[in-house]
Amino acid sequence: MKKALILQHMDHDTPGRFLDYFVEDGIEPHSVRLWEGQTIPSLKGYDLMFVLGGAMDVWEFGDNPWLQGEKQAIREWVAERAKPYIGLCLGHQLLAASLGGEVALAKEGEVGVHEVTVKDAGRHHQLFAGLSGNYKVMQWHHAEVKVPPADSSVLASSPRAAVQAIAIDDHALGLQFHAEFSAQTVASWESLPNYVAALERELGPDAYAKVRTEAFPLMPQMGAMTRRIYDNLKRASGLGP
């Protein structure tokens, strides 16, 4: 059985839709709860590294000293071992920062449903095969990749964030948006008062009702995009058929 090493930064940020894909493909997930002090194990024996989002920024080592070791593990996994990697939101930014890119606060963050555009490089890249045009996605970030790693390809962009997706060869993918987002994600976030308060600071009163109203009709499209990206990475990286 293949194994996925999941690096988790917050309790309720989970792989979402991707967990269903892992079950279908017989991939055993192993989560490391970094904020609780759990350490990253030896990378030997894992087939996929999956790095989630989080409220911290890539440079906040003082409050999150484990970020240094996480970046080293990502660099070893992607640059030295050249093995399959998926990074979402913070995981996207950590991929860039670990490989020499630059991450900083965005001039204007993105929270809620926003649109991303597949670039020409994306339309011609194996990891974005079958994707073109514009897609509605769920966003929640105030930092962004300002300068991508030198050996990366920028596959998607948005008006507020030029680097929405990066690829390292055909085995590593970073997505600024929350590709794991599902109806279960909304329910999980909505159950947490601090998440609700944070979203209302961004979008105003009844923010979750607004997100539900806008996002729920888009769930089939969001799910189809996520599935396509996952299947592309499986094939291109050798993770699966």
Mean pLDDT, the chain, as a whole number?
A: 94
**How sure is the predictor about 190, in pLDDT bands with cuts at 50, 70 and 90?**
confident
Q: 85 and 171 in contact (C-beta within 8 Å)?
A: yes
More confident residue, 109 or 202: 109
Q: How far is 69 from 213, CA to CA, in rounded Å?
A: 40
| 223: amino acid identity, one letter | G
The encoded tokens of residue 151 equal: 């050996």
Share of the chain above pLDDT 90, in %: 81
Q: How far is 169 from 57, CA to CA, in rounded Å?
A: 25
pLDDT at 202: 80
Does position 189 have pLDDT exceeding 90, yes or no? no
Does position 199 have pLDDT exceeding 90, yes or no? no
Look up the pTM and report it: 0.95
Q: Phi and psi dihedrals of 211, rounded to 5?
A: -65, -45
6-27 pLDDT, tens digit per residue, is 999 998 889 999 999 999 999 9
| 56: amino acid identity, one letter | M
Q: How far is 122 from 62, CA to CA, in rounded Å?
A: 36
Burial (CB count <10 Å: 0-12, 13-18, 19+), residue 212: middle
What average pLDDT does this structure show over 174-182?
Answer: 96
The encoded tokens of residue 87 equal: 């990074």
Q: Which fold has domain 2-237?
A: Rossmann fold (3.40.50)
* Pick from 238, 184, 165: nearest CA to 12: 184
Q: How far is 141 from 145, CA to CA, in rounded Å?
A: 11
More confident residue, 185 or 99: 99
139-171 pLDDT, tens digit per residue, is 989 999 999 999 999 999 999 999 999 999 999
- Lowest-confidence region among 40-49, 141-150, 175-184: 175-184
Q: 139 and 165 in contact (C-beta within 8 Å)?
A: no
Q: How far is 69 from 157, CA to CA, in rounded Å?
A: 29
pLDDT at 16: 94
pLDDT at 204: 86
3-state DSSP: the chain helix, strand, coil percent, rounded to 5? 40, 30, 35
Provide the annotated active-site residues.
89, 178, 180
Q: 47 and 2 in contact (C-beta within 8 Å)?
A: yes
